[in-house]
């Protein structure tokens, strides 16, 4: 008899509409504090409302779900599942993973032994692609003891790139010093930022928005050609749908022969709170 596997992730993973229901993925919302007031992402506040708060100059901070929120979800799911895989945003970027680990410590042993906490070393649509692949492995009947081993090559072979409209948001979030070696003192520089070993790393800079987007597409094209196989490609944006569609079209143009799927989604607040309105993110993982 095939073991029943439950899949959970934080709302730090950004999915297209309907995918969560189609793949039976449970999402635990992160907390978003606006001027100290606590909201639950996707429950009591939307992506659009978070971006508006940033634009209006409010203080916006994010925080992981409490351990008790994770444990309540695990206990409920354990009633109908033989094993639970809980996938989290990179521990280099958030404390969600540690909060989930702490939650297992307060569970009874019969529930705790069913749970595997996974640091995806990723975020936003990159994290979502990993969770989607996990759901596909479940559909294919992967056994719990083999699950993570089968998923590992996909996690290691994924790509995440993004660029921002204005370095003001990185400066406001206290992140600009991190990029100073690449950016210098010019706030009109448009960076390309990659995710490497779970950390955000500046990999290029461009003078102008369009040049940065073109540079991001060029890097993604090189990575796509290196693998030479069908891939999932998701483009996320923070109030930049027109430009996201341009990236989508460019990616579709060179991946049409392999019928790779290119989708456009909204960037959630985990990244948007630091990169601000106008950010564009591109994730890619082989199918």
The answer to whether residue 183 scores a pLDDT higher than 80 is: no
Residues 94 and 230 in one domain: no
- Which residues are CB-neighbours of 261 under 8 A, at least 6 positions away? 232, 233, 287
Q: What is the model's pLDDT at position 17?
A: 76
> Is the predicted pLDDT of residue 46 greater than 80, yes or no?
yes
**Position 36 pLDDT exceeds 80:** yes
- Domain boundary among the residues 130, 155, 180 is at 155
Half-sphere exposure of 101 (CA within 13 A, CB side): 9
- Coil, helix or strand at residue 205: strand
- What residues are paired with 285 via a beta bridge? 232
More reliable by pLDDT, 165 or 15? 15
User: Which class for 233: exposed (0-12), middle (13-18), buried (19 or more C-beta within 10 A)?
Assistant: buried
46 within a domain of the structure (yes/no): no
The secondary structure element, H or E, covering residue 193 is strand 189-196
Asked if 157 and 227 count as a contact pair (C-beta separation under 8 A), the reply is yes
Let me know the angle formed at the C-alpha of 78 by 85 and 149, rounded to the nearest 5 degrees: 25
Q: What is d(CA 177, CA 196) in angstroms, rounded to the nearest whole number? A: 18
On whether both 238 and 134 belong to a single domain, the answer is: no
Residues 168 and 230 in one domain: yes
Least confident window among 17-21, 34-38, 40-44: 17-21
Q: Residues 15, 132: one domain?
A: yes
Q: Of 36, 43, 116, which Cα lies nearest the Cα of 74?
A: 116
**Residues 151 and 274: beta-carbon distance below 8 Å:** no
Alpha carbons 118 and 130: distance in angstroms, whole number: 11
Lowest mean pLDDT among 143-152, 164-173, 272-281: 164-173
Give φ, ψ of 250 to 5 degrees.
Answer: -65, -40
- Judgement on whether residues 151 and 118 belong to the same structural domain of the protein: yes
What CATH number is attached to the domain comprising 151? Answer: 3.40.50.10170
In this structure, are residues 138 and 5 in contact, taking their beta carbons and an 8 Å threshold?
yes
Residue 181 has pLDDT above 70, yes or no: no
- What proportion of the chain, given as a percentage, has pLDDT over 90? 63
Residue 42 belongs to a domain: no
Domain end call among 155, 178, 206: 155
Position 137 confidence tier, pLDDT thresholds 50, 70, 90: very high
The pLDDT value recorded for residue 21 is 93
How far is residue 55's CA from residue 67's CA, in Å, rounded to a whole number? 31
User: Cα–Cα distance between 90 and 5 in angstroms, integer?
Assistant: 22
Q: Does residue 40 fall inside a structural domain? A: no
Is 84 within a domain?
Answer: yes
Question: Which of 77, 148, 150, 87 is CA-nearest to residue 114?
Answer: 77
- 243 and 271 together in one domain: yes
Residue 171 lies in a domain: yes
If asked whether residues 165 and 82 sit together in one domain, one would say no
b/e code 131-162 from CB counts within 10 Å (16+ = b): bbbbbebbeeebebeebeeebeebbeebbbbb
Are 138 and 240 in a shared domain? no
pLDDT of residue 263: 92
* pLDDT single digits (tens) 186-216: 556 788 989 888 988 888 888 888 999 999 9
- pLDDT at residue number 175: 53
Q: Do 14 and 144 reside in the same domain of the chain?
A: yes
78 falls within a domain: yes
* Tokens standing for residue 271: 């990244």
Give pLDDT, residue 126: 96
Domain boundary among 124, 155, 186: 155
pLDDT at 231: 87
- What local confidence, expressed as pLDDT, does residue 133 receive? 96
| Domain contains 60 | no
Instruction: Tell me the pLDDT tens digit for each residue of 225-276.
Output: 887 778 899 999 999 999 999 999 999 888 776 667 889 999 988 778 878 8
Residue 135 sits in which domain range?
Answer: 5-30+65-155
Count of the separate structural domains present in the chain: 2
Same domain, 98 and 231: no
- Which pLDDT value is given to residue 84? 98
Q: Among positive and negative, which fits the CA dihedral 158, 11, 203, 256? A: positive
Look at residue 184 and tell me whether its pLDDT is greater than 60. no
Q: What CATH number is given to the structural domain containing 171?
A: 3.30.1180.10
Is the domain of 118 the same as that of 250?
no
Q: Is residue 44 part of a domain?
A: no
Which uninterrupted H or E stretch holds 126? helix 124-139
Q: Note whether 278 and 261 are same-domain residues.
A: yes
66-119 tens-digit pLDDT: 999 999 999 999 999 999 999 999 999 899 999 999 999 999 999 999 999 999
**pLDDT category of residue 180 using cuts at 50, 70 and 90:** low
Residue 287: exposure state from Cβ atoms within 10 A (0-12, 13-18, ≥19): middle
Q: Each residue of 153-179: pLDDT tens digit?
A: 999 889 999 898 877 666 665 555 555
- Identify which has the larger pLDDT, 157 or 136: 136
């Amino acid at each position: 008899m095939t073991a029943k596997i439950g899949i959970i992730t934080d709302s730090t993973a950004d999915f297209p509409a309907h995918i969560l229901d189609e793949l039976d993925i449970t999402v635990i919302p992160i907390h978003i504090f606006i001027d100290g007031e606590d909201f639950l992402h996707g429950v009591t506040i939307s992506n659009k409302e978070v971006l508006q708060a940033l634009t209006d100059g409010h203080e916006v901070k994010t925080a992981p779900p409490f351990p008790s929120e994770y444990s309540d979800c695990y206990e409920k799911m354990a009633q109908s599942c033989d094993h639970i895989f809980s996938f989290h945003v990179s521990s280099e970027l958030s404390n969600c993973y540690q909060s989930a680990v702490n939650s297992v410590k307060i569970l009874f042993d019969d529930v705790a032994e069913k749970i595997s906490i996974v640091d995806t070393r990723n975020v936003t649509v990159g994290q979502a692609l990993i969770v989607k692949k996990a759901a596909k492995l479940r559909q294919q009947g992967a056994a719990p003891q083999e699950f993570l081993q089968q998923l590992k090559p996909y996690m290691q072979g994924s790509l995440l790139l993004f660029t921002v409209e204005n370095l003001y948001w990185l400066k406001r979030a206290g992140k600009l010093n991190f990029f100073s070696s690449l950016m210098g003192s010019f706030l009109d520089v448009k960076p390309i930022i990659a995710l490497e070993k779970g950390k955000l790393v500046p990999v290029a800079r461009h003078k102008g928005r369009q040049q940065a987007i073109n540079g991001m597409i060029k890097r993604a094209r090189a990575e796509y050609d290196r693998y030479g196989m069908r891939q999932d490609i998701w483009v996320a944006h923070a109030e930049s749908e027109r430009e996201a569609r341009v990236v989508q079209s460019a990616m579709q143009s060179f991946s049409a022969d392999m019928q790779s799927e290119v989708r456009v989604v909204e960037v959630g607040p985990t990244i948007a709170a630091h990169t601000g309105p106008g950010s564009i993110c591109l994730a890619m993982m082989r199918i």
